[in-house]
Amino acid sequence: MSFETKLLAELAAPTKNAIVGGPFGSNLVSKDYAERGVPVIRGQNMGGRWVGGEFVYVSPSKAEALGANKARPGDLVFTQRGTLGQVALVPRNPFAEYIVSQSQMKVTVDPTKADVEYLYYVFCSQDQLDYIRSTSIQTGVPHTNLGILKKTPVPVPPLSIQKQIAAILGSLDDRITLLRETNATLEAIAQALFKSWFVDFDPVRAKVEGRVPEGMDEATAALFPEEFGTSELGMLPKGWRVTTVGDSFILTMGQSPPGDTYNNEGDGLPFYQGRTDFGFRFPTKRVFCNAPTRIAEEGDTLVSVRAPVGDVNMAIERSCIGRGVSSLRHPNGYRSFTFYAVRGLGERFKTFDSEGTVFGSINKKDFQSLPVVDPGEELLCAYEDLSHPIDQRIVENEEQCRTLATLRDTLLPRLISGQLRPPEAQALVEATAQ
């Protein structure tokens, strides 16, 4: 089964400004931004399937002046300069309209000719990404333009097939989204427990005030002191001590191997170089290294140590770490405590990003000297008993996300090329749910 090919311009709605870019540079500048109003779609709003994230706004009157540059629910938005290949759908809510920034372009699709969600997946395919990059203008910052976008060839099956393809791939993305939302909730639970015990000292405060600590059995409550003492960090539960990262954890600073050991073929260990590889909780595999020099083990806490300092992830598998990353683990294997304790160093990390250097960084000596609280072995073990099952479920959900994403990325090119029929793809999707 083969599909007809059409230019994107042929699939646009027969209305004015159906394919349009952002305003001319001087027509939208930072002083136009307002605290509320009509959101502006910029590159940072283009990271996923749907336009979203933190927006800047322009006033309604400014938005009317930029009426030709509006995007509305159901439109498709593309990056014009910067991270070429980004594409996102404009969601049905919470906004009725948006302004497209100078670095984006939008297309309003004719619904009698094409399904916009199908087109979204077409532009996510590797063939389409390769086309965008091969036709980009390399002068200065790599960029594309409306003329190139309009002439982009697109495989166009019958509309009913388009909708089936979009529904199949969309169902996989919906499942991934649900799993990631679940992970955010689970992480918030473990983080809140850490904060209650080791930052706010809620169980100790309860005892001091003559109350029974909440949310724990008697045996766990008995592990907490009944009074506070003092320390260099201020008030601290009696018997607890202030120590350092170097004394509490095994810290490994990354080191970048020779460039000729890198590859994209999966040869060797996943190689993480810095913040660009970090995700919500776990890094994304982009590059591999077949001669690693510094290793992070599964479950290690990973920290960005260069530009910027302090982003925190967890290694979901054994990996190679470059000079922009460090790894930490507790000598007794308390993975969850290590992760949330290092996350709690966020404010201290910020000082290494604001010392007037070209870009922020932290060396091993400074990292090792950062203070952390040691509540004692029994409480560390008690916290791990409660938090580790939560964190393990987060890992399992992430692995399921990756399985679903691999299936989606495998089905996508075969569906839009006609090599695989929708019923066959649906059977494969249903098999993964069993």
Whole-angstrom distance, CA of residue 239 vs CA of residue 171: 53
Q: What span, in angstroms and rounded, lies between the C-alpha atoms of 390 and 398?
A: 13
Q: What does the block give as tokens for 303? A: 């920290």
pTM above 0.85, yes or no: yes
> CA-to-CA distance for 21 and 84, rounded, in angstroms?
14
Distance CA 273, CA 323 (A): 7
Beta-strand relationship, 269-272 and 319-321: parallel
**What separation in angstroms does the CA of 293 have from each of 25, 141, 207?**
46, 34, 49
For residue 102, the one-letter residue type is Q
Backbone angles phi, psi at 217, to 5 degrees: -80, 175
301-305 and 295-296: which strand pairing? unpaired
Query: Prior bond to 413 cis, omega within 30?
Result: no
pLDDT values of the chain reduced to their tens digit, one per residue, 434 residues: 678 999 999 999 999 999 998 888 788 888 889 889 999 999 889 988 999 999 999 999 999 999 999 999 999 999 988 788 899 999 998 999 999 998 899 999 999 999 999 999 999 999 988 888 888 888 777 888 889 999 999 999 999 999 999 999 999 999 999 999 999 999 999 999 999 999 999 999 999 999 999 999 999 999 999 999 998 888 999 999 999 999 999 999 999 899 889 998 889 999 999 888 999 999 999 899 999 999 999 999 999 998 789 999 999 999 999 999 999 999 999 999 999 999 999 999 988 876 545 678 899 999 999 999 999 999 999 999 999 999 999 999 999 999 999 999 999 999 999 999 999 999 999 887 76
